[in-house]
Structure 1
Amino acid sequence: MTHHVADVAVIGAGTAGLAAERHARRQGVTTRLIDPDFAGTTCATVGCMPSKLLIGAADAAHEAAGAGAFGLRTEVEVRGAEVFERVRRMRDDFAQGVQQSIAELPDGVCLRARARFEAPGELALDSGDTVKARAVVIATGATPALPGPYQAVSDRVLTNQTIFELDDLPESLGVIGAGPLGLELAQAMHRLGVQVEVFDAGDRLAGLPAETSRALYEVLSRAFRIHLNRTPEPAPHPDGVALTWQDGSTRVERVLVAAGRPPLLDALELEKAGLDLDDHGTPLFDPATMQCGEAPVFIAGDANHDRPVLHEASHEGTVAGRNAAAWPEVTRTTRKVPLNIAFTRPEAAVIGTIPEADDDTHVTGEADFSDQGRAKVMARAAGMARLHARAGDGRLVGAELCAPGGEHLAHLLAWAVQCGMSASDVLEMPFYHPTLEEGLQSALRQICRQTERSKPWNRDDDPLPGSRSGAPEG
């Protein structure tokens, strides 16, 4: 048994934990990084990167199959085994970069074990060792939820942690959960030739507001069936899994459960840390400092279930690590504008603050991408964007979209919101022709017409008659 002593102990070696340890150590304090596996980040191993690799294959298949729209003729043969071999090979390359950064940590920093609190600042490890620290950062991440009924068909169940290990594509797939992950993988599998059906107990797709959720539903449901407000009951079937709900049934070879990723906190015995917890057992914390109450405990990344995306986990880990090193002196930080993207096709995104429908202190402008010039050229005309601004001065506060090139449009809008730009400010920026970005102009102009003190935009820049959607003018 070894008794370790450090200024800062970080539990979890994912994106948030690695950032917290690094930035705490940069403040000149001693650190310990505790993890049972040191397997790498969720993003590199079972999240962002392998899912985008699968989506990349699906995009290639879809573009080839749809080449007829451009006067081309192709034949597509999807070789599932080769698809997954590439996914794993490149996934492992990305993960190796993380492993290398872990291997380069100073000697004695990494402790391979599971930790639990014995008291504030005191941790017991399942290796038999103990750690005493002046401050602790919780960065244990999250894990896929497997609802009870699916235990009976667990041999047919996939999650984001297992789907990329498939040897080949299944014939059919039922997807439980219409959040970003569920929809991304459902569409990718469909485009690779798998028969797909999606189920969700709610009435929205990808966490979108109602209008953009309907726009995304309209596009995706043309390709595969989406059952909202439905909770199917699974049962074993000789050929896979039978799914039954109140007005229907189906049989699928495999089931992908994408019904949420709750924080990994149960084994920490947080009650011994003296923390106040919410109804779900998650510590109450200040998002500007990442501190849990007044305790010398900080929480970052998916473990706090606040903004479970990679760039936020990295930022939260940085803030938590710096403040843990400086405790009891902590510094408040300004959070980045919220930005969430679903890599469906078309991409969907929510940026900043979305006002309530009856909020008369804000105005909204809409853009129709089903009638947008560049989108038509690319045979990708579908979707919409809704931009929200303060009624008094037209300052942008948020946006929601379902549009081709949406991941790029979302970044532009997030930057505009974070910079405090008004709709007229954005209209004074250059818009090249013909581009997808031009499609935002109609929404921005609508906001300008509704606001009281917006600066006038150059009316000479209005589209010519007949080209309001940004279509080529000749």
Structure 2
Amino acid sequence: MNPSNVDVAIIGAGTAGLSAYREVRRYTDSIALIESGPFGTTCARVGCMPSKLLIAPAEARHRLERLPAFGIAAEVGRVDGVALMRRVRSERDRFVGFVIESMQGFDPSHIIRAHARFEDAHSLRLDRATDADVTEAAADGIQRLRADRIVLATGSRPFIPAMLHAAGDRLIVNDDVFEWQDLPRSVAVFGAGVIGLELGQALHRLGVRVRLFGRGGGLASISDPEVRAYAARTITAELPASLDAREVRVHRDGDAVVIDFVDDDGNARSERYDWLLAATGRTSNLDRLGLEKTGLVLDARGIPLFGPLTMQCGASHIFVAGDSAADRPVLHEAADEGHLAGHNAARYPGVFKHVRRTPMGVVFSDPQIAFVGKRHAQLVAEGVDFAIGQVSFEDQGRSRVMMVNQGLMRLYGEAGTGLLLGAEMIGPEHEHLAHLLAWVIQMRMTVTDILELPFYHPVIEEGLRTGLRELNRALGMGPKPPLRCIDCGPGG
């Protein structure tokens, strides 16, 4: 039987909520973990893992197209959409199973399957969950719960602009893609952010007719204008896209979705698609909790003002974590925030600050896009005095050998101190370079110090060294780099 009073209530059992639960349990056994939907986390069910299961076969098929340039005869692989999507769903379910399996050590009496809403700052009303795979009654009949401290970890959901609703039952979000039994013939992807770019490019490479629709010319949240321009040229050379589509109108014609629009060149177009995929961002689920009854100060999005080093909302007993906070919506950050929120909720009023890890983001497009540390727009907005080191990967030795020589990296260093501050980049295997950069930035290393570290030859990382040398020169802390890195071998 679940109690009606607990020390800590955690609303949401996604990545952040599960991390918070494990931390809180170190301090108290009086816990309520409240979840209204399916277990398994956004990442495992509809996010990072199933999307990579779609991207992997797309990249494999795309590699076949490059083989003739190596002198190897090959035919582009025929796509069995049924078999492909069967593997996506099967492996997705396996990843979800791992998450659920990790919860087997949880005390069942701590878990409440219900929708929670605030009645006041400490009291929650619990309503029976109505999700299709949730059949248990709320809290064994308990309809109200009082908690001394509360962690908000309710996650987020897709945001769909009103103009797209005209697509009717042909309108889908990324969650729906991973339930497909077969690949469709055509999809219009609205939203040129991370989700839209990853899924749009993957579907295109698997033989689906795709157009990526964006607004204002943005792509994958790149803020550096040089990197954004390079990425736009590179991506749109392969993937049909209108990154600044105007006068867009959506309507139905039978089973087809018709998109009327003015493309980036000013031409009026009308195209038909089987589906319209809305990848137009996500919105926090906190708006479903009745936060107006807590007395917390909310921002324009309805998210409580909180300290990112404590996850505490104001000076209250309420903490927020994960996608709910809409601060750093990636899995490793959600886990960190959940741990921090859980730690402080359990020890409240003893609340402690914790230095956060260096921000890092990777877009699994091809070429990959990555951001590390402080981004270009942030440095400009903060008035930081910084220099830029730039390197192209078009002539980088190992990249050319592998025929993946597309990319531009821009590195930012602080004037005066020489500290490496951040980077924005597009290029081959940049998920790995992003990690290297995040590590040295977090260690507060100067560009000069980083250049003392070993670089092998021939590797893609030599391109990073070239960029660092250019940055050191721009900072006035090093000479002009040798032509084509003669001291490290040809093509370095």
With the shorter chain as reference, the TM-score category is over 0.9
The match for 2:444 is 420
Equivalent position amino acid for 2:253 in 1 = H
Question: Where does residue 61 of structure 1 map in the other structure?
Answer: 61
Residue 445 of structure 1 aligns with an amino acid whose one-letter code is R
User: 3-state SS of the aligned residue for 2:196?
Assistant: helix
Aligned mates of 1:465, 1:338 — CA distance in 2: 33
Question: For residue 379 of structure 1, what is the amino acid of its counterpart?
Answer: M
1:197-216 equivalences in 2 (<5 Å): 197-209=211-223, 210-216=225-231
How far apart are residue 465 of structure 1 and its match? 7.7
Aligned residue for 1:284? 305
* Structure 1 equivalent of residue 258 of structure 2: 242
Match of 1:103 in 2: 104
Match of 1:338 in 2: 359
* 1:223-372 aligned within 5 A: 223-230=238-245, 232-246=248-262, 247-354=268-375, 355-356=379-380, 361-372=385-396
**Amino acid paired to 2:169:** D
Q: State the AA in 2 paired with 1:284.
A: L
2-side partners of 1:185 and 1:459: how far apart?
39
Counterpart position of 1:161: 175
Aligned to 1:115: 116
C-alpha distance in 1, partners of 2:384/2:286? 41
CA shift, 1:459, in A, is 8.3
Give the deviation of 1:445 after TM superposition. Answer: 0.9
- Counterpart amino acid of 1:276? V
**Secondary structure of the structure 2 residue equivalent to 1:402:** strand
Shift of 1:149: 2.4
Report if the CA contact (8 A) 1:302-1:313 is conserved. yes
Q: SS at 1:146's partner residue?
A: coil
Classify the secondary structure of the residue corresponding to 2:485: coil
Match of 2:131 in 1: none
Residues 280-334 of structure 1 deviation map (CA, whole Å, 9 limit, x = unaligned): 1111111010011111100000001111010100000000000000111100010
Distance 1:218 1:275 in 2: 45
Per the TM alignment, residue 129 of structure 1 is displaced from its structure 2 partner at its CA by: 1.9
Distance 1:118 1:74, change over 3 A: same
Q: Among 143, 148, 151, which residue is 2:157 paired with?
A: 143
- SS class of match (1:69): helix
Q: Per the alignment, do residues 28 and 445 of structure 1 end up closer, same or farther by CA in structure 2, a change over 3 Å counting?
A: same
For the Cα contact (< 8 Å) 2:2–2:109, is it kept in 1?
no
CA-CA distance at 1:275 after TM superposition: 0.8
Read off the aligned partner of 1:55 and give its amino acid letter.
I
Q: For residues 336 and 358 of structure 1, do their structure 2 counterparts lie closer, same or farther at Cα, with a shift above 3 Å needed?
A: closer
Secondary structure at the residue paired with 1:221?
A: helix
Contact 2:88 2:178 in 1 (8 A): yes
| Residue 5 of structure 1: aligned partner | 5
Amino acid at match of 2:414: R
Aligned to 2:146: 132
- List gaps (5 residues or longer) in structure 2: 128-137, 263-267
Q: Does 2:465 correspond to 1:441?
A: yes
**Deviations for 1:174-218, whole angstroms, at most 9, x for unmatched residues?**
110000111000110011011111111232210002211111111
How many Å apart are 1:249 and its aligned residue?
A: 2.2
Q: Comparing 65-74 with 461-470, which one deviates more in the overlay?
A: 461-470
Query: SS of the residue aligned with 2:346?
Result: helix
Partner of 2:486: 464
| 1:340 partner amino acid | G
C-alpha separation in 2, matches of 1:63 and 1:77: 13
Asked whether the 8 Å contact 2:457–2:489 carries over to 1, the reply is: no
Deviates more, 1:186-195 or 1:60-69: 60-69
Contact kept, 8 Å, 1:117 with 1:270, in 2: the verdict is yes
What's the offset of the Cα at 1:221?
0.6
Q: Distance in 2 between matches of 1:135 and 1:99?
A: 25
For residues 124 and 461 of structure 1, what CA distance do their matches in structure 2 show? 69
Post-superposition CA distance 1:196-248 (Å, at most 9, x none): 11111232210002211111111111112221222522110235200112332
What is the Cα deviation at residue 117 of structure 1? Answer: 0.5
**Alpha-carbon distance between aligned partners in 2 of 1:61 and 1:297, rounded to the nearest angstrom:** 49
Amino acid at match of 1:17: G
- 1:178 is matched with 192
Aligned equivalents of 2:489, 2:394: Cα separation in 1 = 14
Residues 428/208 of structure 1: CA separation in 2 closer, same or farther (3 Å cut): same
Say whether the 8 Å CA contact 1:285–1:299 is kept in structure 2: yes
**Matches of 1:243 and 1:458, distance apart in 2:** 51
Give the drift of 1:32: 0.8
What is the CA deviation profile of residues 145-185 of structure 1, one whole-angstrom value per residue up to 9, with x for unaligned ones?
A: 12222223231122111001111111111110000111000
Alpha-carbon distance in 2 for matches of 1:276, 1:173: 41
Q: Which residue of 2 aligns with 1:22?
A: 22
Greater shift in the superposed pair: 235-244 or 379-388: 235-244
Structure 1 gaps, min length 5: none
